Chain A
Amino acid sequence: SQQGEEDPQALSIQEGENATMNCSYKTSINNLQWYRQNSGRGLVHLILIRSNEREKHSGRLRVTLDTSKKSSSLLITASRAADTASYFCATDEDDYKLSFGAGTTVTVRA
């Protein structure tokens, strides 16, 4: 079953702007991870946030987690053309097995 669901499905922004996408999930989790997939390439791990954490930063990325609302957000600040990609959240449904949503497609316009 699909656990993580991203919102919006697609996002188009100007270079330099911030991009925010959200993820909702259904059951309790141990961790939530965000991944990026550039066109034609593999999944790149961006950040992992544990269920007892509320916010985490990594470079231009900021992830929040609200376990009471079963939701997470990914903020990309000062976007660049290279940030154009699909972004997925993934929750650990059963121990190590990950459940992904359909992803948010981000297009950064120069």
Chain B
Amino acid sequence: EAGVTQFPSHSVIEKGQTVTLRCDPISGHDNLYWYRRVMGKEIKFLLHFVKESKQDESGMPNNRFLAERTGGTYSTLKVQPAELEDSGVYFCASSQYRETVFGQGTRLTVV
């Protein structure tokens, strides 16, 4: 069974540019989450989809971040415009019951 897949694995962009991260959850998983770890700190929740609906987006830092999950399948997280403090590792995860499976993460560096 394929796991949670994230693209790209690394991204280096300049401040002010736009970046879109993609996540393909495990097939059949209704729940999809975005988390991020900034500057070696704790991993923080960003938002939660149940199928195509945003269940909880309380962790989204500001309106420069936009997440979508078209058709309840893959999800994208767009950062526009990117700021230096957005650098970090962005994790996507999916779950159907108790165990949450994480992807490899996208390491975003804003310079």
Contacts and interface: CB of A to CB of B under 8 A. Distances in A.
Interface of A: 2, 30-31, 33, 35, 40-45, 48, 50, 88, 90, 93-94, 96-103
B22 to A, nearest CB: 15
B98 A48 contact: yes
B45 A41 contact: no
The 9 closest A-B pairs by CB, nearest first: A42-B104, A43-B102, A100-B43, A102-B42, A42-B105, A100-B42, A96-B31, A42-B102, A101-B42
Interface residues of B, number: 24
Contacts, number: 59
Contacts of B69: none
B99 interface: yes
23 contacts: A35-B102, A41-B104, A42-B6, A43-B43, A43-B91, A45-B99, A45-B100, A45-B101, A88-B43, A90-B43, A90-B100, A93-B45, A94-B56, A96-B31, A96-B33, A96-B48, A96-B100, A97-B33, A97-B56, A99-B45, A100-B35, A100-B44, A103-B42
A16 B103 CA distance: 30
Contacts of A2: 42
Interface of B: 6, 31, 33, 35, 40-45, 48, 56, 91, 93, 95, 98-105, 107
